[in-house]
Amino acid sequence: MAGAQRGIVGAAALMLALTACGGGGGDWADEDGRPLTLDGNGMLMALPGRLSAPEGWKGRDPEALTGERALDACQDVTASNCAGLAAAGGGRFSRDGESDQRIKYSVFAFDTVDNASVAMKGTLAEDRGDAGTVRELKVDTGAEAAEAFADTDGDAEVVMRAGAVVIRMQGYEVADEKTLGSFARLQVERVRAAANGQNPDA
């Protein structure tokens, strides 16, 4: 009985952490109750590029993937079967000047929240296993669910779910919560706009 109670308490704590780190993402469903997601064109709009680079940073041209290339990329990152995958893609920012600071996004759009949640679970398990000892971070992402942590080298991971879209954000030599939060919200809001048929760069 004590073990079962600990399991319930642990699950409740995990849900609280996911909600708290998510920062309150608002409504991630359309008018018919379907979860917001992206097709190939929506993915291309959602990914950040040179036009969306914050001051002091520069962006690279994003890449949207569909079909077999999307599936390969998804399975590699999420360590899951990627059932229901609709599109995938990635984008990157780097700090101006001589700095080695970089932000990298990997984005995967699914048909249902359940399929997206499985991919998020796999991503977290894979990334936490690779990172070893980690420091938990509290990052305001604006997503429905999120977890963030930093490793002992000063790199960080923020894994988020926004509707049926999973976002893995990596911070290379970027581990402060404020900076990670601003980059996380940038990608999350671009997903929201694109999923509603709006080009975030318009």
Q: What is the pTM of this model?
A: 0.86
CB atoms within 10 A of CB 10: 10
Task: Dump pLDDT digits (tens) for 168-182.
Answer: 999 999 999 999 999
Q: In this predicted structure, what is the pLDDT of residue 27?
A: 80
Task: Dump pLDDT digits (tens) for 50-107.
Answer: 999 999 999 999 999 989 999 999 999 999 999 999 999 999 999 998 889 999 999 9
CB atoms within 10 A of CB 88: 28
Task: Dump pLDDT digits (tens) for 114-152.
Answer: 999 999 999 999 999 888 899 999 999 999 999 999 999
Task: Dump pLDDT digits (tens) for 11-31.
Answer: 433 443 443 354 444 588 888
Task: Give helix 67-78 / helix 113-131 axis angle, nearest 10°.
Answer: 50
Please, is 71 exposed, middle or buried when counting C-beta atoms within 10 Å of its C-beta (0-12, 13-18, 19+)? middle
Q: In this predicted structure, what is the pLDDT of residue 140?
A: 97
